[in-house]
Amino acid sequence: MNKNVTTPLTDDVIADLRAGDRVCITGTILAARDAAHKRLAELVEKGEPLPVDVAGQIIYYAGPTPARPGRPIGSVGPTTSGRMDVYTPALLDMGLKGMIGKGYRNQAVKDAIVRNRAVYFAAVGGAAALIAQRVEAARVIAYEDLGPEAIREMRVVDFPVIVVNDIHGGDLYEQGRLQFEREVGS
């Protein structure tokens, strides 16, 4: 059974999410990758305002391909989240409430997720064309010079993700590894 959430995320919605939950997101999410995160971090370091308010937002770690005629966006699969780990705690401290990507997060990010009542979701890698079908609209809102790595605002409907790290300290990857060890060890 899927849980349905609407953006922007609130503490109450996030409190109900647990590692392993399947979730469908509807609303506006941001897409940004490494280069955009580096620029955001530089602004944070200088104490300058960001080009986008991250409070309550979800950032999807993705750099979409160009849109085909009649479509708002091309394929838009997740990139490896660990590459954003160095930048993520500061964004979470600024009110970012969710991230979507693939792969493990480091301990500093997991601690910041719990501290800031946020959530990390995984999107299925290899399903970029299917995921793009859940995007109704997309537009560049910052760093257009970065091309696919520019920050985009995307309006999504029933965008499928799975909760990996929750505010309760749950970690789906760790839970899966432990379950596998129990099953193999039995």
Question: Could you tell me the residue ranges of all domains in the chain?
Answer: 2-185
Fold of 2-185: fumarase (3.20.130)
**pLDDT recorded at residue 126:** 72
The tokens describing 142, both together, are: 């910052």
pLDDT value of residue 114:
97
Instruction: Give the confidence band of 61 by pLDDT, cuts at 50, 70, 90.
Output: very high
CB count, 10 Å around CB of 159?
A: 25
DSSP string, 46-105: HTPPPSS--TT-EEE---PPPPPTT-S-------BGGGGTTTHHHHHHTT--EEEEBS--
Mean pLDDT of 2-18: 96
Two structure tokens written together for 7? 């953006």
Q: What is the per-residue pLDDT for 41?
A: 95
Give the mean model confidence (pLDDT) for residues 142-171: 95
Average pLDDT estimate for 57-82? 92
